[in-house]
Amino acid sequence: MLHSTGLHLARARAWLHAFAEHAPTVWQGARDAMAEARPVPPSGPGLAATTLHPSPDPAHPVDTRITQRSQPPFPSHFARTHAMNESARIFVADHQGMVGAAVLRQLLVQQHPAHHLITRDEHELPLHDQAAVLSFLASERIDRIYLPVPSPSAPAQQHPAFPLLALSQLIHAASVHRVPQLVLIGTPHVYPDKALSPLAEEDLLTGRLAPGSENVALAQIAAIQLCENLSRPGAGTHARTPALDYRCLIIPTPYGPGDCIDSPDGHTVAGVIHRLHHARLTHQPRITLPRPHDTWNEYLHVDDCARAAIHLMNVPYGAYRRQVQHGVAHLNAGGSHHGSLGVLAHAVAHVVGYTGVIDPPPTEPEWTAPRRLDSYRMRSLGWTPTLHMEDALALTYAHNLAHHSEWPSATPA
C-alpha cells in the first residue's frame, strides 16, 4: 500500500511540473481566444473612452485591449442605442419644463436631428394617463427617453398622486414596448432630511424625508427602484430576454433659463437675482436677503444638468453597471459650486452690479453648512460641470434681461 501511495505521489509531482511548464502558454491562448470571441463595446462620439480610468500620462497610455476584455458582453440593442446615431428617436418628457427644455437644447447643440427629437406637451400627452402613454409609445418607435421629474403646472398635476403616476406610468409603458434606454432625472429630495453632507448614493432610505417633500420624494424613490428592477438581467418575460438599460441621475436644484424670475420667492438663485437686480435699479443702499424655500446649498446650471444626463446615457453599459452595485441604483451629479446663501448673494451682486450692503435673512445664519451631493461616481465616468459659478450666473442674468420684457433692459454697471 505504501508503494502504491508513493507511485501516485510521484505521478502527481510529474503532472504538476508539466502543468507549471505549459500553463502560461495555455492560459494566454485561452485569454486571446476569449478576447476575439467577445463582442467589442460600441464606439462613437463620447464613447471612445473604453478605459474607465484613462492614464493621466499621455506618454504611457493604458492598454485599452486589456480594459475591453475586462468588460462584460454588450446586448445587441445596447450596441445599437449607445452610439446614438442620427436615426435614433429620442423622446424628451416635460420639454416645456426647466430641465426638459435644457435637455432638448443640448441635444440640438450636439447636432442631433430635430426631426428625431420627439416632444409632447401636457395636453397632447398627460403622463399620468396610462392609456395615453401606452398608445403614444405604441405608435412611436422610441430609442431613448429623458424623463425629468415633471414640474406641476396644470391644475390636474397639483394632485399629490401626480408625481408617482407620471413617473411610474411612463417607465412601465416604456418597458412594455421595450424602449431600450431611459434616464430618470431626479432631485435630492430623495435623501433623508438629516443625512450628513456630502450625500452619497448609499444614503438613500437611511432616514426620514424632509417634511413637505414626501410625495415627490417617494415617487422618485419608487421610480428609481423600478428602473433598477427592469435593468437587471432576466427582468423581461423570461430569463433570456435582455434587460433594459434604465438609469437614474440625481441633480441639485437647477438654475438658469426657464426658472421663475418674476418673484423674489422663487428658487434660491432666481430669488436672489431678482432681489439684487431690483435693489440696484432702485438704488437701495442695504437689502435683506429673502429666506430660501429649501436648505440646499449646492447650485448647478440647468445646461450642466442636461449635459450630465446626456453624458450618463452615453456611458457604456458595462462601465455604468460597475458603478451601480451593492445597493446603489442611481448616480449623483453635484454642482461645481456650493456654499452659504451669503456666498451666493455676493457672487450674484458682482454679476448684477449691486454695491450695497447685503444682510442675511433674520431667521438664517450668515454661514450655513453646505448640503451637497457626492459626485465621485459620475466624475469617475468622465463627467464634470463645464460652467464656473460667475460664468453661469452671468449667462442666467443676461438671459433674464434678454427674454423677459417685465425686466428693465438695463445692463450691469
CB 184 within 8 A of CB 224: yes
Residue 411 pLDDT: 45
Residue 166 pLDDT: 93
The CATH number of domain 76-256+298-338+370-387, selected from 3.40.50.720, 2.40.30.10, 3.20.20.70, 3.30.70.260? 3.40.50.720
Rounded to whole angstroms, the Cα distance separating 84 from 252 reads 27
C-alpha cell at 203: 444614503
Residue 138 clears pLDDT 60, i.e. is over it: yes
Tens digits of residue pLDDT in 343-384:
888 999 999 999 999 988 776 544 445 678 999 999 999 999
CB 299 within 8 A of CB 217: no
Residue 114 pLDDT: 93
Task: List Cα–Cα distances, 334 to 18, 93, 149, 298, 392, in angstroms.
Answer: 56, 22, 17, 7, 15
Q: Are strands 90-92 and 144-148 parallel, antiparallel or unpaired?
A: parallel
* In 244-363, beta strands by DSSP E: 245-250, 254-255, 286-288, 298-301, 331-332, 337-338, 357-359
Residue 63 pLDDT: 34
Residue 1 clears pLDDT 80, i.e. is over it: no
Residue 271 clears pLDDT 60, i.e. is over it: yes
Residue 53 clears pLDDT 60, i.e. is over it: no
Rounded to whole angstroms, the Cα distance separating 329 from 223 reads 10
Residue 364 pLDDT: 52
Rounded to whole angstroms, the Cα distance separating 90 from 306 reads 14
> What's the pLDDT band for 234 if we cut at 50, 70, 90?
low
Mean pLDDT, residues 284-293: 80
> What's the pLDDT band for 294 if we cut at 50, 70, 90?
low
Mean pLDDT, residues 308-334: 92
More confident residue, 39 or 159: 159
Task: List Cα–Cα distances, 408 to 139, 274, 397, in angstroms.
Answer: 46, 12, 12
Q: What mean pLDDT, rounded, does the chain reach?
A: 77
Q: Name the phi and psi angles at 170, rounded to 5.
A: -70, -40
Residue 230 clears pLDDT 50, i.e. is over it: yes
> What's the pLDDT band for 408 if we cut at 50, 70, 90?
low
Burial bucket for residue 37 (CB in 10 Å: 0-12, 13-18, 19+): exposed
Rounded to whole angstroms, the Cα distance separating 405 from 413 reads 20
Mean pLDDT, residues 290-304: 76
Cis peptide before 408 (omega within 30 of 0): no
Tens digits of residue pLDDT in 147-198:
999 876 555 567 888 899 999 999 999 999 999 999 999 999 999 988 888 9
